[in-house]
Amino acid sequence: MTPRDTKALIAAAEPAVFWSDNPDAPEPRPPLRGPLTADLCIVGAGFTGLWAALQALEEDPARRVVLLEAETVAFGASSRNGGFCEASLTHGFFNGLSHWAQDLAILERMGADNLDAIIDTTRRHGIEADIRRTDQVSLALTGWQVDALAEGAKIYADHDVSHTLLDADGARAVADSPTYLGALVDHGSLALVDPARLAWGLRDAVLALGASLYERSRVTSITDAGSSLTVSTGAGEVSADRVVVATNAWAEPVRQMRRYIVPIYDHVLMTEPLSGTQMAEIGWEDRQGLADAANQFHYYRLTSDNRILWGGYDANYYFGNGMGPSYENRTASHELIADHFFDTFPQLEGLGFSHRWAGPIGTTSKFAAAFGCRYDDKLAWAAGYTGLGVGASRFGARVALDLVDGLDTERTQLEMVRKKPMPFPPEPLRSLAIQATRRAIAKSDRTGRPGPLLRTLERFGVGFDS
Ligand SMILES: Cc1cc2nc3c(=O)[nH]c(=O)nc-3n(C[C@H](O)[C@H](O)[C@H](O)COP(=O)(O)OP(=O)(O)OC[C@H]3O[C@@H](n4cnc5c(N)ncnc54)[C@H](O)[C@@H]3O)c2cc1C
């Protein structure tokens, strides 16, 4: 066998997002020019903004809803993700258990209802987003991960979470990797989706319901005008009774958000379609969503045309909440995860990658969404789902609507909504703390034991994840 030339493989991949690199992408709407009035103005048209618009209009079709998007619909994380649409609202059951144990039964029920509602919405609005339910499987690659999954299975059993614990042979029957030592299967908590098609379908649905959408319209300021708020893009202005800010990792234009949200760049590869022989060699007949059980983990899935999406592991933070196109092409990260891909599936050696990209994950110190209100609750923001916002963003949008509408609901009573996570420190401490935590996480993945820094962070219920 010739030695693997990862550099050449990555150089040959298109630096573009597979999901949105598609002739079906909608034509952008023109930018906002001049003044407008609205009942509800939504800033950011990713999943959170789109779900806020859809739910607001389905509830009250007469509501005048304006969406302002800095780039184009789903330009951010919403088109760049793995398409794992999970029921969990808490970045997984175990993260929920460690932060919001007293509310977890409610959160799990709301999460299951939320996933049902997403699938139902695609049916009602005829959204062709290739959404399908499947199991999700955590794979153990080391002895300590086997133990951790067994411990996890016990906790699932105590909480009646439907699951199956597999040994190495069982894990290799899911998909054939020589690295698998065991697995924990979650039943009923995942749907896989084409995220760009979901976002575009939501866009069409909200336009059909009467929303106004302005793209390439970055909001630069929001000011209080008494009974309304003035949302300004420079070239235009919306006077709105209520505002929902759905800018996630950008954490703008509300300053408060930047205390709680940091952007983390997560990297993804898409392979060329596998041949029939290659598919037979890896098995994976049930096409589950897979991820390994390390703290720094890879997630992977099949597409409808039998490519493998392979992402995660190397999540990067840049000084001062740094964001922009220059962070989307980090070749070293793509080469690193490409090597991991072939370590996992050596039988696919020689397969090429068609696309490579990265995107900004908005994370909080509790790895799940945070919520805030400003201007006498005329404005609410929802952001920070970390790597699990495809499903949770619909719930986040619903909470933001409850908050701006002044509703006292089961959702707004949740501690997760009432209490913000611990803020990140300002720079330069922010970078230093995140880099130190990343090093500690990498070490704990090697040793299977949390070091002193991780133990201290755990004690305070905070951390860093993707
Ligand atoms: C590489 C990657 C993989 C992921 N994989 C998964 C996964 O498999 N499953 C999962 O559940 N989650 C995943 N996530 C996370 C998930 O994609 C996000 O949590 C979710 O899409 C967040 O949606 P959002 O609308 O809140 O944010 P975004 O989609 O980021 O949308 C924010 C929007 O706001 C706009 N904006 C920013 N500033 C302004 C401004 N000033 N004015 C107007 N508009 C503005 C941006 O242009 C952007 O379109 C992944 C994320 C990434 C990056």
pLDDT digits (tens, 9 = 90+) for 9-23: 999 999 999 999 999
* Predicted structure pTM score: 0.96
- What the chain holds in terms of domains, given with CATH numbers, is 34-84+196-261+366-418 (3.50.50.60), 429-459 (no CATH)
Ligand 1 in reach of 236 Cβ (< 6 A): no
- Going from the Cα of 167 to the center of ligand 1, the distance in angstroms, rounded, reads 36
Q: Are 465 and 91 in contact (CB under 8 A)?
A: yes
Number of helices followed by number of strands (H, E) in the chain: 15, 17
Among 47, 68, 357, 381, name the best residue to mutate to test ligand 1's pocket (greatest count of ligand atoms within 8 A of Cβ).
Answer: 47
Asked whether the predicted pLDDT for residue 460 surpasses 60, the reply is: no
Ligand 1 in reach of 218 Cβ (< 6 A): yes
Ligand 1 in reach of 78 Cβ (< 6 A): yes
- As a whole number of angstroms, the distance between CA 236 and CA 225 comes to 16
Overall average pLDDT of the 161-181 stretch: 98
- As a whole number of angstroms, the distance between CA 81 and CA 370 comes to 20
Kindly list the distances between the CA atom of residue 292 and the CA atoms of 186, 352, 387, in Å, as whole numbers in the listed order.
Answer: 13, 22, 14
Q: pLDDT band at residue 301, thresholds of 50, 70 and 90?
A: very high
Ligand 1 in reach of 186 Cβ (< 6 A): no
- Does residue 31 have a cis bond before it (omega within 30 degrees)? no
- As a whole number of angstroms, the distance between CA 453 and CA 437 comes to 7
Ligand 1 in reach of 389 Cβ (< 6 A): yes
- Does residue 253 have a cis bond before it (omega within 30 degrees)? yes
Chain segment 198-230, per-residue pLDDT in tens: 999 999 999 999 999 999 999 999 999 999 999
Ligand 1 in reach of 252 Cβ (< 6 A): yes
DSSP H helices in 327-451 = 331-344, 392-404, 415-418, 429-447
Asked whether the predicted pLDDT for residue 142 surpasses 80, the reply is: yes
- Going from the Cα of 323 to the center of ligand 1, the distance in angstroms, rounded, reads 13
Chain segment 359-389, per-residue pLDDT in tens: 999 999 999 999 999 999 999 999 999 999 9
Within 294-419, strands assigned E span: 298-302, 308-312, 353-363, 370-374, 379-383
Within 215-261, strands assigned E span: 221-224, 229-232, 236-245
Chain segment 86-124, per-residue pLDDT in tens: 999 999 999 999 999 999 999 999 999 999 999 999 999
